[in-house]
Structure 1
Amino acid sequence: MTDKGSTVVKGSTKLIVFDWDGTLSDSVSRIVSCIQLAAADHQMLAPTFDQAKDIIGLGLREAIGQLFPDAEEALVEEFSLSYSAHYRSQDSNPCDFFPNVLDTLQQLRDQDYLLAVATGKSRAGLDRVLGATGLAELFHGSRCADETASKPQPLMLEQLLQEFNLQPQQALMVGDTEFDMEMAVNAAMPRLGVSYGAHHANRLQRYQPIACIDHFAEIINLL
């Protein structure tokens, strides 16, 4: 674990907001594979693993725009449909969670923290995985890119704060990408990076998280 930038006052955190892919779910390889398959469907030069991994965390259309900046709107739409079809075809076998994620989330819930998800996934995609994993009842709220605005815009976090009638300093954003960290900065919210996801810890440190943890369970000792 490395630290320390933004701070939380012990006992002040009421709401913990988690990114999904690369933070809770070990889904980075699946996302990259589906991006590459969608590119092949449309005879486009497939991005490398690192190129595709780099845009994880953005909304799907924003991610496509970064990978293929010259793509016309119709192609972006077709690519989105192809990607979603490839991902849905694998949804019957949900990605594993990172070690200790489920136990730690339950421990946080038992300690009366409000838990929420802010993700670049679509609402349909998040609802599918919450249903498949049986975790829907664990979270008090969630926001997705297709119903608000893509990271790093702060709208997802702002709406969650409004829903629970909280101030930014009463919440903590936890994520694995600089998009998560920048979103939290834009919402004036403390943030915690995880080093095992899509972006290297050095990239997360630019946004002054309270720490950058190597193991999910370390969050317990920081609150």
Structure 2
Amino acid sequence: MTDRLKLVIFDVDGTLVEGESHIVDAMQQAFAAHDLSRPASADVRAVIGLSVETAVARLSPDLDPATCAAVGRSYRTAFRDIRLSMGAARMNPLFPGIREVLDELAADPWTLLAVATGKSRRGLDALIEGHGLTGLFISTQTADDHPSKPDPSMIAACLADAGAEARDAVMIGDTSYDMEMARAAGVRSIGVTWGAHAADRLAADALAHRVEDLPGAIGSLLGEPA
């Protein structure tokens, strides 16, 4: 074991929890609320991971900023209503095996966990509480306080909160935006293939095809035996 502090940063949607269908539903509701054509499900999945207004602009580049902001507000309202009707844990269940991996990593005193997500603070807090994950993450960074991925701001904040060096950190996510953010921040990356983007889009330092592959991939990238 190394005596250097390690930081493992997780994306949320498509990495820790399921729930793509609810993101698609809320986004389509938001566009319809403004009499705009509903984006195709595949197009919404392609922008999962971006901050809401950035995703809206990507889905409909001709919208003016004010309309983008209004659609973004409608998305948040629609998503909140789904969450309130279902409960955060039922709406976004953890992928099988994720809780066990988080507990295994957290049991190592030299490993700290963090989150960098395009979710809102309200949504992330509800999810963490709903799954009983309170206190597990040293840093939780959301789209409310940072530019959209792939800007490295969220990772920089995670590193500062943890007191960790970029060389000792890894970003785990399911989209190309997570991998680009990791490169911009100078940290390693692991792409998971059970989320929104196909493996050939990820361009990660390592891939994990199963949840149980994560500890070994983390150990390999951060200099420990798998």
TM-score by length of 2: 0.89
In 2, Cα distance between equivalents of 1:201 and 1:142: 26
Is the CA contact 2:19–2:92 (under 8 Å) kept in the aligned structure 1? yes
In 2, Cα distance between equivalents of 1:179 and 1:13: 25
In 2, Cα distance between equivalents of 1:31 and 1:169: 33
Shift in CA distance, 84/64, structure 1 to aligned 2, threshold 3 Å: same
Residue 187 of structure 1 corresponds to: 185
Shift of 1:39: 1.2
1:34-49 to structure 2, matched below 5 A, reads 34-49=26-41
Is the CA contact 1:94–1:132 (under 8 Å) kept in the aligned structure 2? no
- Counterpart of 1:83 (choices 75, 78, 82) is 75
In 1, Cα distance between equivalents of 2:126 and 2:64: 29
- Counterpart of 2:175 (choices 170, 174, 177) is 177
Residue 47 of structure 2 corresponds to: 55
Number of residue pairs matched by the alignment: 211
Which deviations, in whole Å up to 9, do the C-alpha atoms of 1:42-99 show, x marking residues without a partner?
1111111110000000011111111111112221222112111111112124311111
Residue 125 of structure 2 corresponds to: 127
Which deviations, in whole Å up to 9, do the C-alpha atoms of 1:113-137 show, x marking residues without a partner?
2000000011122112112222122
RMSD over aligned Cα, in angstroms? 1.4
Structure 1 runs of 4+ with >4 Å offset? 10-13
Residue 222 of structure 2 corresponds to: none
- Counterpart of 1:115 (choices 106, 113, 116) is 113
Is the CA contact 1:32–1:53 (under 8 Å) kept in the aligned structure 2? yes
Is the CA contact 2:15–2:173 (under 8 Å) kept in the aligned structure 1? yes
Query: SS where residue 94 of structure 2 aligns?
Result: coil
Query: SS where residue 137 of structure 1 aligns?
Result: coil
Bigger drift between 159-168 and 45-54 goes to 159-168
Shift of 1:211: 1.5
In 1, Cα distance between equivalents of 2:78 and 2:94: 20
